[in-house]
Amino acid sequence: MSRFQKIARGALATALIWSSLLLTAQADSNVKAPISLGELLSQNSKYLHSHGAEYYADFKDAQNPGVTLLSCSDSRAHSTSFFNDPINRVFAVRNIGNQIHNNFGSVDYGVHHLYTPLLLVMGHTHCGAVQAAMQNYASESFAIVREVDHLAIPLRGILQEASQPHDAELLWARAVEHNVDYQVEMARRRYADAIAAGKLNVVGAVSDISNAYGAGYGQLVIVNLNGEKDLTRLRLHRLVADVPEALRQQAIRRLKP
Ligand SMILES: [Zn+2]
């Protein structure tokens, strides 16, 4: 078997595994809803009792969030890992792979209408969308293919590395980081005027659900500040000047290229 045939066979095998995983997830959800409507309404009743009119008084007429969050839709990566209560604080835009191309309008709304001073692009380790983009996802629906297609540009270099012997876990994490860098770069170009005027900062982060960065499971790792990717300069960046040294060392990291 030629080297090309081996690579092709490997890609086909991983594509089949990916497809079967998706199909299994769909099949399971048809058999048993993981959250019943009874549980949902009961949880909401508890919420009503612990909040009420007083809680909503300040913002029932208009929202005033401090951050526009562009994150992956993945159920394991939420803003609740850094805000106990994201209501009226986080304007959230979510899609598979935390991609700005797929939701320019929603991100524009956060930046240009809600004037959030921070745009936080948050990827996460073990991202299925990034993994799919590294493999053959042609068998997915047209809509999914169209969304994942946008990940091809940031992952171009990674795909070349994937054809050589590599540490799959590390490469996957690096692909996530590459994607965050790319989305930050696209945001910097789109909102260059707001950034130049000092009205917006774009921050790239990874919610590390697999502890790939070694700072702990669930660490929000800052990897990019307004396009800055050098670790030494990141830790000295003006945006983190008020962050204690120990926390800077822990939370600001980059994977080794
Ligand atoms: Zn994801």
Gap from CA of 20 to ligand 1 centroid (Å) = 18
Is pLDDT of 73 > 90?
yes
CA gap 236, 241 in Å, rounded? 7
Gap from CA of 179 to ligand 1 centroid (Å) = 11
Is pLDDT of 9 > 50?
no
CA gap 215, 219 in Å, rounded? 6
| Pure H helices in 53-125 | 53-56, 104-108
Residue 159 is predicted with a pLDDT of 86
Once rounded to an integer, what is the mean pLDDT over residues 243-256? 97
Once rounded to an integer, what is the mean pLDDT over residues 66-73? 98
Span 120-139, pLDDT tens digits: 999 999 999 999 999 989 99
Is pLDDT of 12 > 50?
no
Gap from CA of 202 to ligand 1 centroid (Å) = 19
Gap from CA of 189 to ligand 1 centroid (Å) = 23
CA 252 to chain CA mean position, Å: 16
Is pLDDT of 24 > 80?
no
Is pLDDT of 10 > 50?
no
Q: Does the 64-251 domain belong in CATH 3.40.50.10420?
A: no
Gap from CA of 57 to ligand 1 centroid (Å) = 35
Span 141-167, pLDDT tens digits: 999 999 999 898 889 888 888 888 889
Gap from CA of 252 to ligand 1 centroid (Å) = 20
Gap from CA of 55 to ligand 1 centroid (Å) = 32
CA gap 226, 149 in Å, rounded? 25
> So where are the chain's domains?
1-50, 64-251
Gap from CA of 21 to ligand 1 centroid (Å) = 15
Gap from CA of 63 to ligand 1 centroid (Å) = 27
Residue 104 is predicted with a pLDDT of 97
Once rounded to an integer, what is the mean pLDDT over residues 61-67? 98
Is pLDDT of 3 > 80?
no
Residue 165 is predicted with a pLDDT of 84
Whole-number average pLDDT of the chain: 89
Residue 109 is predicted with a pLDDT of 98
Is pLDDT of 38 > 60?
yes
Q: How confident is the model at residue 33 (pLDDT cuts 50, 70, 90)?
A: low
Gap from CA of 161 to ligand 1 centroid (Å) = 21
Is pLDDT of 19 > 60?
no
CA gap 234, 36 in Å, rounded? 45
Gap from CA of 34 to ligand 1 centroid (Å) = 20
Span 197-248, pLDDT tens digits: 999 999 999 999 999 999 999 999 999 999 999 999 999 999 999 999 999 9
Gap from CA of 243 to ligand 1 centroid (Å) = 28
- Pairing type for strands 201-208 and 219-225 reads antiparallel
Gap from CA of 180 to ligand 1 centroid (Å) = 11
Gap from CA of 117 to ligand 1 centroid (Å) = 25
Q: How confident is the model at residue 6 (pLDDT cuts 50, 70, 90)?
A: very low
Q: How confident is the model at residue 11 (pLDDT cuts 50, 70, 90)?
A: very low
User: Burial of 96 by CB count in 10 Å (0-12 exposed, 13-18 middle, 19+ buried)?
Assistant: buried
Gap from CA of 133 to ligand 1 centroid (Å) = 11
Gap from CA of 76 to ligand 1 centroid (Å) = 9
Gap from CA of 84 to ligand 1 centroid (Å) = 21
Nearby residues of 2 by Cβ (< 8 Å), 6 or more positions away: none
